[in-house]
Amino acid sequence: MKLRGRGIRKVDGFGMGDHIVTFKIQIPAYLHPAQIALLKAYAKTETDTPGTVAGINKTDDGKQQPNDQ
């Protein structure tokens, strides 16, 4: 990601350089039961993201419905 004008001052003294940001994402291969419980608890508090958590479907409007599948 490039943040234009957010880097260090240019050598000639006029303006700022660009700040280059690199993200390194590492996905864990295994989660401990405590980590799984924390992720599920966090997912249950989300209201603006539709999806399924532990058999409960969340609709686009934030309501919860049991998963009948």
| Residue-level pLDDT at 58 | 65
Q: Nearest-CA neighbor of 17 among 27, 26, 4?
A: 4
The verdict on residue 69 lying in a domain is no
The number of angstroms, rounded, from the C-alpha of 24 to the middle of its chain's C-alpha atoms is 13
8 A C-beta contact, residue 19 and residue 2: yes
68 pLDDT above the threshold of 60: no
The verdict on residue 42 lying in a domain is yes
The verdict on residue 68 lying in a domain is no
- Tally the domains of the chain: 1
The verdict on residue 29 lying in a domain is yes
Q: Is the model more confident about 31 or about 50?
A: 31
| Residues 30-47: tens digit of each pLDDT | 999 999 889 888 877 777
The verdict on residue 18 lying in a domain is yes
Q: Whole domain around residue 34: which residue ranges?
A: 2-63
pTM of the model: 0.42
26 pLDDT above the threshold of 80: yes
8 A C-beta contact, residue 34 and residue 20: no
